[in-house]
Amino acid sequence: MQSTKFTFHAIFLLSASLLAGCGGNISDADRALPGGSLNVLDATGISEIMLDFADPDEAVIYFRSAVAQSPDRIDFRRGLAISLVRSGQHAEAVLIYETIQEAGELTNEDRIGMAGAYIRNGGWAEGEAALNAIPPTFETYDRYRLEAIVADHNEEWTKADSFYDIARGLTTTPANTLNNWGFSKRIRGEMQDAENLFRQALRADPSLFRAKVNLVQTRALRGEYQLPVIPMNDEERALLYYEAAKVAVHKGDRDIGRGLLQEAIDSHPRHFAAAVDALNALTSSVGL
């Protein structure tokens, strides 16, 4: 289910409505909320709202202001780091997590967040070190998901399988983990296992398009170009034919690729420019 996103304006209105219910006057001390909003709610409560409901970029703005006004508040720095990760600003998130570490306030949850930020910023060794600092008794989905990704990077396949399996058991929404595990299997050349995992991912979340693409690509790599029986709309069907066509042409099955591209064009509910261009290029022997 998609979370509702609050804007600053919505949070201000929420604060104002709570103030009206209290019936009291606002003191000067109550005006110190970061970003200039009225401090009707406790700052911790506002921080929780920003982390739970706000758009990531708005949360970054809020927590930047909070840290600037209260640099000693570790919870504000932590909120900024989390928000930076969510908004894709991983390099800066690493820097904020490192300031929390220097302050001696790094929790195990922080280490997981820092490890993820390191990894997304290309710092594999640092990310692995952050994970290794977490005691083995601290078992969470995010921890083992990252452990699996690191093991994949190191080509430690037995470890990767173990971590993916643990992560799958620690979440009620395992589709992304199963998809990643399937991709790991495909990298190793274990195509049937990969296909099985992509199908499991789609049973867990039939809308996960990345798993649909991975399934079609994996089958195409084995020479099975017919689309599998999975939930898809017309646009997805066209895109999946297109993915299968690219694999076919790459493998040298140009006639099959040409037919799949035509299927993609015919299936798409609108003009499928990329498929049209690819078919024209293939017909004129330029290639995809």
CATH number, domain 139-227, options 1.25.40.10, 3.40.50.300, 1.10.3720.10, 3.40.50.150: 1.25.40.10
Q: What pLDDT does residue 138 have?
A: 97
pLDDT digits (tens, 9 = 90+) for 218-233: 999 999 999 999 999 9
Q: What pLDDT does residue 205 have?
A: 98
CATH number, domain 32-135, options 3.30.70.141, 3.40.50.620, 1.25.40.10, 2.70.98.30: 1.25.40.10
pLDDT band at 54 (very low <50, low <70, confident <90, very high): confident
**Tokens 């909120």 found at:** 79
Listed in sequence order, the residues at least 6 apart from 177 whose beta carbon sits closer than 8 Å to its beta carbon are 141, 145, 148, 164, 167, 168, 171
Strand partners, 6: 54
Residues 37 and 69: beta-carbon distance below 8 Å: no
The residue among 109, 85, 107 whose CA lies nearest residue 95 is: 85
**Got the DSSP string for 110-148?**
HHHHHHHHHHHTT-HHHHHHHHHTS-TT---HHHHHHHH
Q: What pLDDT does residue 43 have?
A: 64
pLDDT digits (tens, 9 = 90+) for 76-121: 999 999 999 999 999 999 999 999 999 999 999 999 999 999 999 9
3-state secondary structure of 258: helix
